[in-house]
């Protein structure tokens, strides 16, 4: 008989595994920020700075003493983290680098076909010349490249040099040693990763096993699709084969079958969970009694389908939706209170006005703005204004 988790237990569990039961007001102990990022597995980056960039909001939601310079130090000085791709560009522990080599190989096969169709065999000359330049002259940004064409270029019209840089980065020959004004600084990958991780190799089977175990460690429970999507390193079919192999082997130290209560009453979902899920549920620490604005790319929010059935919260980011068709707004932040997503807020840090400007709040059905909830919201807005470096809050 499989274990059953109620919806409340399941929500509390995922928030705990994603670092949201940590006391958010306590300063990080030595190594604490790295441990948090490792617990999450990765922190997704976003170029848009509506309040603060996504990576900073994700970490700040878990610890209000976090400052963006702390992340830069771990990447640029200590090399404990590297930047590469999950679902999008992300910050990843350097100790995971050997497993990303399998992604590099897959990307090389994919991009070789794409670039040959685009530029023919000549793209290899651009790639080779770019690698020689970096080996000779050291790190560079795309804006350092001489452009063959004249006149302005839009951001999506990559010239040959930019395309070569991105190819070399996606396939693992280059790394990102820093960002300046959000511009990538490319260098040889060997110079961005500690030798102990750069030199390590793992087999394909070990890679799949690691990707599945590490995803389930952070998800708590899930389907093969959930497991595959967490890091976006493997295919659902690979996760399904791994799951079936683990269950068929009778090894009880990896996973167990569970049923999970959905946000909709009387609905459940069958899936697998990490073997210690029962003890995790029994020992769940309390959630902080506060409201928190989450980045649209927070790991709790990112998987929209899972979010909807687990939390009963439908969310989409409307950046690419024409203004007249938006239901909410250009860049709207979900609001987490205890174990529930209670609403969403359209807010933006206007540096010229020195203000965090609030356009509108939408509360979920059944959520009332009590005095206590208003106080929690006000406290979170003050925290967000401090993170974004503005001194006041304006309601528009």
Q: Is the pLDDT confidence value at 166 over 50?
A: yes
Instruction: Average the pLDDT over 5-12 and give the result.
Output: 98
Tell me how far apart the alpha carbons of residues 233 and 240 are, in angstroms, rounded to a whole number.
14
At residue 238, the pLDDT reads 98
Contact criterion met (CB below 8 Å) for 296 and 317: yes
Of residues 151 and 89, more confidence is placed in 89
pLDDT for residue 149 is more than 80: no
259 burial class (0-12, 13-18, 19+ CB within 10 angstroms)? middle
**pLDDT tens, position by position, 173-185:** 999 999 998 899 9
Q: Are 385 and 393 in contact (CB under 8 A)?
A: yes
Average pLDDT over residues 145-149: 56
* Each residue's pLDDT tens digit, 360-374: 999 999 999 999 999
pLDDT of 142 above 90: no
Here the tokens at position 178 are 């820093």
pLDDT tens across 213-245, in order?
Answer: 999 999 999 999 999 999 999 999 999 999 999
Average pLDDT, the chain: 92
Task: Please write the tens of the pLDDT for every residue from 285-305.
Answer: 999 999 999 999 999 999 999
Rounded average pLDDT over 195-209: 97
Residues β-bridged to residue 292: 336
Q: What is the pLDDT of residues 93-105, one digit of tens each?
A: 999 999 999 999 9
Taking only the tens place, the pLDDT of each residue in 61-89 is 999 999 999 999 999 999 999 999 999 99
């Amino acid at each position: 008989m499989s274990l059953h988790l109620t919806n409340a237990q399941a929500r509390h569990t995922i928030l705990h595994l994603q670092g949201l039961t940590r006391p958010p007001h306590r300063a990080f102990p030595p190594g604490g920020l790295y441990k948090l990022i490792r617990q999450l597995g990765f922190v997704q980056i976003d170029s848009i700075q509506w309040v603060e960039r996504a990576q900073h909001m994700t970490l700040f939601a878990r610890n209000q003493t976090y400052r963006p310079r702390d992340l830069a130090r771990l990447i640029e000085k200590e090399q404990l983290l590297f930047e590469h791709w999950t679902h999008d560009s992300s910050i990843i522990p350097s100790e995971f680098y050997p497993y990303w080599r399998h992604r590099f190989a897959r990307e090389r096969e994919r991009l070789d076909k794409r670039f040959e169709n685009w530029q023919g065999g000549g793209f290899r000359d651009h790639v080779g010349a770019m690698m020689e330049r970096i080996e000779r002259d050291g790190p560079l940004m795309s804006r350092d490249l001489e452009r063959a064409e004249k006149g302005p270029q839009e951001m999506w019209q990559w010239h040959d040099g930019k395309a070569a840089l991105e190819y070399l980065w996606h396939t693992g020959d280059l790394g990102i040693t820093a960002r300046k004004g959000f511009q990538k600084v490319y260098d040889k990958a060997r110079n961005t990763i500690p030798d102990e991780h750069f030199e390590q190799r793992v087999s394909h089977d070990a890679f799949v096993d690691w990707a599945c175990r590490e995803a389930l460690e952070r998800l708590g429970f899930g389907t093969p699709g959930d497991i595959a999507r967490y890091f976006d390193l493997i295919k659902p079919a690979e996760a399904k084969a791994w799951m079936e192999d683990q269950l068929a082997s009778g090894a009880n130290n990896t996973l167990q079958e569970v049923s999970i209560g959905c946000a909709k009453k009387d609905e459940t979902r069958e899936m697998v969970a990490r073997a210690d899920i029962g003890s995790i549920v029994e020992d769940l620490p309390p959630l902080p009694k506060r409201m928190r604005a989450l980045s649209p790319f927070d790991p709790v929010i990112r998987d929209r389908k899972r979010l909807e059935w687990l939390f009963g919260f439908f969310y989409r980011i409307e950046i690419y939706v024409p203004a007249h068709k938006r239901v909410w707004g250009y860049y709207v932040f979900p609001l987490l209170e205890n174990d529930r997503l209670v609403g969403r807020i359209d807010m933006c840090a206007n540096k010229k006005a020195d203000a965090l400007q609030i356009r509108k709040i939408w509360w979920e059905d059944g959520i009332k703005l009590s005095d206590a909830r208003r106080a929690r919201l006000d406290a979170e807005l003050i925290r967000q204004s401090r993170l974004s470096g503005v001194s006041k809050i304006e309601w528009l």
